[in-house]
A and B are shown apart, each in its own frame.
Chain A
Amino acid sequence: MSDSLNAMRRRSVLEPQWFVPALFVVALLPAVIGVAGTASDLLADTRFFGSNPIKAVEHYFGQWTLRFILATLCITPTRQLLGWNWLAKQRRTLGLFAFGYLMLHWLAYALLDVQLDWHDLTIDLAKRPYIMIGMAALLLMVPLAVTSTKGMIRRLGGQRWNRLHQLIYVISVLGVIHFFMAVKKDIGQPALFAAGLAVLFAFRVQRWRARRAA
C-alpha cells in the first residue's frame, strides 16, 4: 500500500503539461454555459435553464462558487496525501475562479433578478439574514482576490498573507450557511456541500493535532 503510494508520489513530482490548459477549460466551461444559456433563454425563448432562467442561473453560479471554494480547500490535502506539490500553484487559480463565479452569482442576483433596484437591494441587505451572510462572504473574499498577486504576497510577507487567507475557512462556512438559508425545505444540496466541507475541515484538524502531538 505505502509502496504504491510512494511510487505514485515519485511519478507525480512534476506538473503534467496538460494540467493548466485542462484546468482552464474545465473551470471556464460552466461560466460559458451559464452566460450563453441565460442569454439564449432570455433573448430567444429557449429553456436551457428551465422556465425561470433568472432564478436558475442565480443558483447555478452560486453552486459553482461553492464548488470552486471547496476545490481550493482540496489542494492542501491532495498535496499532502499524494505529494503533488506542484498543485500548490493552482490554488490561486482555483481561488480566483471561485471569486469569478461569486461575481457572476452576485450579478445574476443584482442585475438580472433585482435589476439594480437600489431600494430592494438595500431592503434585502437590511432585512434578510441569508443575504447579509452571503454579502459578508462576498466582502471577505475581496481582500483575498486583491492580495492574490506575487507582489502582494511579497509585500504582506508569507506569514501575514497566510493568516489573511485563512479567511477562506470563514467564507466557506458562510457560503454553505447562506445556501441552507436560501432553500425552502429541500436541504439535500446544501447538506452535500456541508458534508464536503466537514471532511476537508476534519482533515486539517487531524493534521493540526498530529503536529501538536509531535
Chain B
Amino acid sequence: MLVRRTDPIGSSEITPEAHYLNRREFLAAAGLLGAGLTGVALPASASAAGRAQEPKALGKPYGLQSDDKPTPYKDVTSYNNFYEFGTGKDEPIENARGFVPRPWTVQVDGLVAKPASYQLEDFLKPSAVEDRIYRHRCVEAWSMVIPWRGIALADVIKRAQPTAAAKFVEFTTLMDPKRMPGQRSNVLQWPYVEGLRLDEALNPLAMLATGVYGRDLPNQNGAPLRLVVPWKYGFKGIKSIVRIRFVDKMPNSAWNLAAPQEYGFYSNVNPDVDHPRWSQAKERRIGEFSRRPTLMFNGYAEQVASMYAGMDLRKNY
C-alpha cells in the first residue's frame, strides 16, 4: 500500500464527516475485496465493492409490497431512536461511536428447564443465520425497509425449554450508564425492558438481529443483539439485549411505564387505532415525499392476525 506523506493538516483540510463516512464504507468494501482475493468466501455484497457507496440489501423479502425498496444504509444507521445514547435521532450514531459490544453475555432464565448464561458467540452458534428484509414502522409515523441479519427467536426459546408456567418473555437491555450516557438522564426508567407473549415470541417472524445489510449491527442500531418484531411498532424492538427471562405475568415495558395511556403492551401496528396525540393511519417512508397508508399489522396480518383473534385491539393497543 502506498502511503503518501502530507504536510501538517490545517483545520480547513479536515475531512468533512460525510466524506469520512464514505471513506469508511470504502475501506470496509476494500477489506471484503481483499478477503475475496485471498480466497475467502465472498459475500454477495462485496460485488458492489467497486461502487462501495451503498451496501447491497441482502435477504429474503417478507411482507414487502411491490413498491417497497430497502431504505439506504446511511438512513438506517443514522436516523435512530435509541435513548440510551441520546433522545435525538442523530445522537445515537455520535454517542455510540466508542461503545464496544464485546465481550457480551446473554442470560436466559426464569421459567425454563435450561437457564444459562452464554457468551454471545455461544448463544448464536447453534442457530442458522438468516437475512430477511422486513418493513419497519415507528410509532412516530415514519417507516423504513430494513435488511436484517439474525436468528429466529423461536430457536432460542426452544433451546431454553420454557416450562408450562411460562406465558411471557421479558427482554432487558444492558444497564451501564458509563457506556450508555443516555442512562444518566431519567427520560425513561432504566434498564429498558420489553416483553412479548410466548406465542408472539414463537412466531416465525420474530427475530433476534445481529446485523443489517449483511454487516454486524452498528452500535446505534442496538449492537450486538436486538429484537425485531416487524408487525409491532419499532420501540418493541429492544436493543443491546443482555437478558431473556421467561415469566408467567405480563412484563413491564419501558414505554408503557413512561406513558401507559400512549404505549400499550401489544403495540401492534394498527392504522385504525390512533396514538392519543397523532394519527397512525399514514406513515412517511424515509426517503419518500408523500405519506403512504399504514397497513394492518404493518403488512404482516397473514402471519400474525390469528394470534389476536377475538381481542379488542382498541383496548389491547
Contact = CB atoms under 8 A, between A and B. Distances in A.
Interface of A: 42, 47, 50-52, 54-55, 113, 115, 120, 123-124, 127-130, 181-182, 184-186, 188
Contacts of B259: 185
Nearest to B18: A47
A50 B80 CA distance: 11
A204 B234 CA distance: 46
B121 interface: no
A52 B89 contact: yes
Contacts of B287: 51
B187 A47 contact: no
28 contacts: A47-B18, A50-B78, A50-B79, A50-B89, A50-B90, A51-B75, A51-B89, A51-B286, A51-B287, A52-B142, A52-B286, A54-B284, A55-B284, A113-B284, A123-B279, A124-B279, A127-B274, A127-B279, A128-B278, A130-B277, A182-B277, A185-B83, A185-B87, A185-B187, A186-B83, A186-B87, A186-B88, A188-B87
B258 A185 contact: yes
Nearest to A184: B140
Contacts of B277: 128-130, 181-182
Contacts of B18: 47
A42 B289 contact: yes
B290 interface: yes
A129 to B, nearest CB: 8
* A interface majority secondary structure: helix
A181 B276 CA distance: 11
Query: Which 6 A/B pairs are nearest by Cβ-Cβ distance?
Result: A186-B87, A51-B79, A51-B75, A51-B286, A185-B187, A185-B258
A185 B188 contact: yes
B215 interface: no
Contacts of A52: 79, 89, 142, 284, 286
Given A51-B74, A51-B78, A186-B88, 19 more contacts: A47-B18, A47-B74, A50-B78, A50-B79, A52-B89, A52-B284, A54-B284, A54-B289, A120-B279, A123-B279, A124-B279, A129-B277, A130-B277, A181-B277, A185-B83, A185-B87, A185-B187, A185-B258, A188-B87
B187 A55 contact: no
Interface of B: 18, 74-75, 78-79, 83, 87-90, 140, 142, 187-188, 258-259, 274, 277-279, 282, 284, 286-287, 289-291
A137 B13 CA distance: 46
A166 B287 CA distance: 43
Query: Which residue, A113, A124, A182, A185, has most C-beta atoms of chain B within 10 A?
Result: A185
Contacts of A42: 289
Given A52-B89, A128-B278, A186 B284 contact: no
A52 B291 CA distance: 12
Contacts of A124: 279
Nearest to B77: A51
Contacts of B284: 52, 54-55, 113
A184 B275 CA distance: 11
A186 B188 CA distance: 9
Contacts of A120: 279, 282
A128 to B, nearest CB: 6
Nearest to A43: B289
A95 B18 CA distance: 37
Query: Which residue, A54, A181, A182, has most C-beta atoms of chain B within 10 A?
Result: A54
A115 B291 contact: yes
